A and B are shown apart, each in its own frame.
Chain A
């Protein structure tokens, strides 16, 4: 049923259904029949679609063509690290030994899985400079929640219960305050200075014995590495607070600097950003958390450890260990093993120490190259050498064109737009992260398109206001969606009597 009255481009799977059509069949039962439970335990109807296999394939094939993807083109979405996802990952994570192991199997029968998890824990420690790692959290925000729980548990273990304030810079992602809010902490916003660093005076004023810690993304969402990072960490530590690192932007730091060495106490990783786990149209992600030695006992349970040391020609036995003061379990079972950990392991194994450094160096080169090419056309409010991303202003003097219009117009040039309207401290922000997996030609074509769009903004602003015009779909009526709230569809009303 077409609730909202639009013309149908692709019918829903329910609209495509036809009574009596069969999909994949299952074998007949090979056991003697048992009667079903009494009728009052059974459902009366099952209003689900009926389609043939080819109907399903063509439907999803058509849907897939409505999507823009990294496999299809340049996707410079700031702070999202939309890098190319190596195809080999898709093979390794589907090896039968990984695909068909049950999470509750005896540890002796899953030593391959546990060795992989253990090695990945060790590698991430080495890359980040942390003493302990959990691979359990399911996504960045989930890791961040675990990290804040660890900070909370640490202070509580010292009976330091007056600490209720979390310091968060104004450039931070909204997830940071939301994570702190889940534990009833109050959020104190710390402004940025003119060079995009944490304002040290404001930070100093906020540091007292009620501070839980500070949540800092570094490089921050402006793409700036904080030039005073050691002072920031010292101020927070001196008042007894802990330093939380949001690892969203770790793609700039591999082999460049280790957050643990800078004094960070906790950090979450985004394996789906930095270590090439594909984003999947919005998950699954994977959000490991690294901690300093003093916090290792608070990590979520269980971790993978060596439960019997190796001897001569016998390899070690890997199994599960529970940290002494664990915050508990973040999810069922052991983290995003197949879809997250195996892919990230494959990726790191193929890079080695030098390859990891290449990633960050070229991610930073590509961002700076684009920034240099756009500097004369777009205002760069924090203009210095950036890290893996930078922020430009999507507005021009005397024009009513906005960042949103520029973003939509980029679609007509077959590019995915950058992140817009974030960070909040830049007006009409366009946050551009090219990643290391783009070549110079692509970057040049993108810069040329943005320069051309700036001209169009002056000469033909309606081109931008009405963009995109070459895509399958135009701009959406978001008010209608929120007011009418059509959140699902059903089989047609007369379905049983159809055809």
Chain B
């Protein structure tokens, strides 16, 4: 399992990049969901979002999940690429699989990579 140390993590398996405001789902999350076939972004560019509120919905072959904002702020950009090709969330969750960017982001209740790894391990049992 990959958990880049420059990112911050939410309990609900989203990552947040404090350097540019990018948001996505973690490697652990994409693995749990398995083959992702549909992504819907629930917010528009310029919209204010609140940490903990739904920003996207993801469907895989066998499951569905809501994605929550890890930070509050204004939606600066939306990644159209993942809407066209949802499988990017499986193949590159921390890179091309970014979902939205949140500007002026005030982080919600987030963990560093070490704490998040522990959080994932606990759930494996």
- Chain A: residues with CB nearer than 8 A to chain B? 478-479, 482-483
Q: Which residues of B contact A483 (CB under 8 A)?
A: 35, 37, 87
Q: Which residues of B contact A478 (CB under 8 A)?
A: 61
User: Can you add 8 more A-B contacts, CB < 8 Å, to A482-B61, A483-B37?
Assistant: A478-B61, A479-B35, A479-B37, A479-B61, A482-B35, A482-B37, A483-B35, A483-B87
B62 to chain A, nearest CB (A): 8
Name 10 A/B residue pairs within 8 A (Cβ), A-sorted: A478-B61, A479-B35, A479-B37, A479-B61, A482-B35, A482-B37, A482-B61, A483-B35, A483-B37, A483-B87
B4-44 interface (Cβ within 8 A of A)? 35, 37
| Bound-complex Cα distance A479 to B35 (A) | 7
| Bound-complex Cα distance A482 to B33 (A) | 14
A322 to chain B, nearest CB (A): 39
- Which 5 A-B residue pairings sit nearest by Cβ, starting from the closest? A482-B37, A479-B35, A478-B61, A482-B61, A479-B61
Q: Which residues of A contact B35 (CB under 8 A)?
A: 479, 482-483
Q: Which residues of B contact A482 (CB under 8 A)?
A: 35, 37, 61
- Chain B: residues with CB nearer than 8 A to chain A? 35, 37, 61, 87
A407 to chain B, nearest CB (A): 15
B8 to chain A, nearest CB (A): 29
| Bound-complex Cα distance A479 to B90 (A) | 13
Q: In this complex, what residue of B is CB-closest to A485? A: B37
A4 to chain B, nearest CB (A): 15
| Bound-complex Cα distance A482 to B90 (A) | 15
| Bound-complex Cα distance A483 to B61 (A) | 9
| Chain B interface helix/strand/loop/mixed | loop
Q: Which residues of A contact B37 (CB under 8 A)?
A: 479, 482-483
A430 to chain B, nearest CB (A): 18
Q: In this complex, what residue of A is CB-closest to B59? A: A482
| Bound-complex Cα distance A83 to B35 (A) | 36
| Bound-complex Cα distance A478 to B34 (A) | 12
| Bound-complex Cα distance A479 to B36 (A) | 9
| Bound-complex Cα distance A483 to B89 (A) | 13
| Bound-complex Cα distance A151 to B61 (A) | 34
Q: Which residues of A contact B61 (CB under 8 A)?
A: 478-479, 482
| Bound-complex Cα distance A497 to B34 (A) | 45
Q: Which residues of B contact A479 (CB under 8 A)?
A: 35, 37, 61
B100 to chain A, nearest CB (A): 23
A419 to chain B, nearest CB (A): 15
Q: In this complex, what residue of A is CB-closest to B60? A: A482
B56 to chain A, nearest CB (A): 18
Q: In this complex, what residue of B is CB-closest to A483? A: B37
Q: In this complex, what residue of A is CB-closest to B62? A: A478
A428 to chain B, nearest CB (A): 14
A358 to chain B, nearest CB (A): 40
A5 to chain B, nearest CB (A): 19
| Bound-complex Cα distance A483 to B37 (A) | 6
Q: In this complex, what residue of B is CB-closest to A479? A: B35
| Bound-complex Cα distance A483 to B91 (A) | 14
B87 to chain A, nearest CB (A): 7
| Bound-complex Cα distance A198 to B28 (A) | 33
Q: In this complex, what residue of B is CB-closest to A482? A: B37
Q: In this complex, what residue of A is CB-closest to B85? A: A483
| Bound-complex Cα distance A148 to B61 (A) | 30
| Bound-complex Cα distance A482 to B35 (A) | 9
| Bound-complex Cα distance A414 to B69 (A) | 49
Q: In this complex, what residue of B is CB-closest to A481? A: B61
Q: In this complex, what residue of A is CB-closest to B87? A: A483
Q: Which residues of A contact B87 (CB under 8 A)?
A: 483
A438 to chain B, nearest CB (A): 31
| Bound-complex Cα distance A423 to B61 (A) | 19
| Bound-complex Cα distance A346 to B37 (A) | 46
| Bound-complex Cα distance A478 to B35 (A) | 10
| Bound-complex Cα distance A120 to B30 (A) | 51
| Bound-complex Cα distance A483 to B38 (A) | 9
B79 to chain A, nearest CB (A): 19
| Bound-complex Cα distance A478 to B63 (A) | 13
B49 to chain A, nearest CB (A): 21
| Bound-complex Cα distance A478 to B37 (A) | 11
| Bound-complex Cα distance A482 to B39 (A) | 13
Q: In this complex, what residue of B is CB-closest to A421? A: B62
A17 to chain B, nearest CB (A): 32
| Bound-complex Cα distance A482 to B37 (A) | 6
| Bound-complex Cα distance A308 to B61 (A) | 56
| Bound-complex Cα distance A482 to B36 (A) | 9
B86 to chain A, nearest CB (A): 9
| Bound-complex Cα distance A440 to B35 (A) | 43
B38 to chain A, nearest CB (A): 8
Q: In this complex, what residue of A is CB-closest to B86? A: A483
| Bound-complex Cα distance A165 to B87 (A) | 36
Q: In this complex, what residue of A is CB-closest to B37? A: A482
Q: In this complex, what residue of A is CB-closest to B38? A: A482
| Bound-complex Cα distance A478 to B61 (A) | 7
| Bound-complex Cα distance A5 to B48 (A) | 46
A479 to chain B, nearest CB (A): 4
A82 to chain B, nearest CB (A): 24
| Bound-complex Cα distance A103 to B37 (A) | 43
B121 to chain A, nearest CB (A): 19
Q: In this complex, what residue of A is CB-closest to B34? A: A479
| Bound-complex Cα distance A79 to B35 (A) | 28
| Bound-complex Cα distance A479 to B60 (A) | 9
B37 to chain A, nearest CB (A): 4
| Bound-complex Cα distance A479 to B37 (A) | 8
| Bound-complex Cα distance A55 to B30 (A) | 47
A484 to chain B, nearest CB (A): 10
